[in-house]
Amino acid sequence: MSVNPDLVNLVFEPTPSYVVGREKVREFARAVMAFDPLHHDVSYARNLGFADVVAPPTFPVVIQEATLHQLLAHPEATIDFSRVVHGDQKFDYQRLVVAGDELVGQLTVTKVQSLGGHSMVTSETAMSTLEGELVVTAVSTLVVRAGEDAA
Amino acid sequence: MSGTPWSTFSVGDEVANETIYLTRESLVRYAGASGDFNPIHYRDDVAQSVGLDGVLAHGMLTMGLAIAPVTSWLAGKAMVTSYQVRFTKPVYVPVTGSAGVTVSVTLHSLGEAPEESATLALRVTNDEGATVLGKAIAVVSTL
pLDDT single digits (tens) B11-26: 999 999 999 999 999 9
Q: How confident is the model at residue A80 (pLDDT cuts 50, 70, 90)?
A: confident
Give the pLDDT confidence score for residue A87 in this predicted structure: 95
Average pLDDT over residues A121-140: 98
Higher local confidence (pLDDT), A147 or A43: A43
| CATH topology assigned to domain B14-22+57-142 | Thiol Ester Dehydrase; Chain A (3.10.129)
Quote the ipTM score.
Answer: 0.96
| Bridge partners for A124 per DSSP | A108, A139
Q: Cβ of B82 and A90 within 8 Å?
A: yes
Alpha-carbon dihedral B41, B45, B47, B49, rounded to 10 degrees: -160
CA dist., res. A68 & res. A141, Å (int): 11
Average pLDDT over residues B41-65: 95
Nearest by CB to residue B71, choosing from A38, A48, A149, is A38
pLDDT given at position A116 = 84
Higher pLDDT, B84 or A84: B84
In angstroms, the Cα distances linking B77 to A101, A112, B87 are 22, 39, 29
Asked whether the beta carbons of residue A44 and residue B29 sit closer than 8 angstroms, the reply is no
Tell me, what's the pLDDT at A147? 64
Lowest model confidence (mean pLDDT) among A112-116, B6-10, B77-81: A112-116
Question: Could you give the CA distance from residue A79 to residue B57 in angstroms, rounded to a whole number?
Answer: 23
Domains of chain A by residue range? 5-20+58-144
B60–A44: do the CB atoms touch at under 8 Å? no
Question: Nearest residue on chain A to B137, judged by CA atoms?
Answer: A90
Q: Is A93 on the interface with B (CB under 8 A)?
A: yes
Which one of A15, A20, A26, A33 makes the best mutation probe of the B interface by having the most chain B beta carbons within 10 Å?
A33
**Which band of pLDDT confidence, cut at 50, 70 and 90, is reported for residue A148?**
low
Task: Compute the nearest-CA separation of A14 from chain B (Å).
Answer: 19
Residue range A5-20+58-144 in CATH 3.40.47.10? no
Q: Does A9 contact chain B (CB < 8 Å)?
A: no
Cβ contact (<8 Å) for B33 and A31? yes
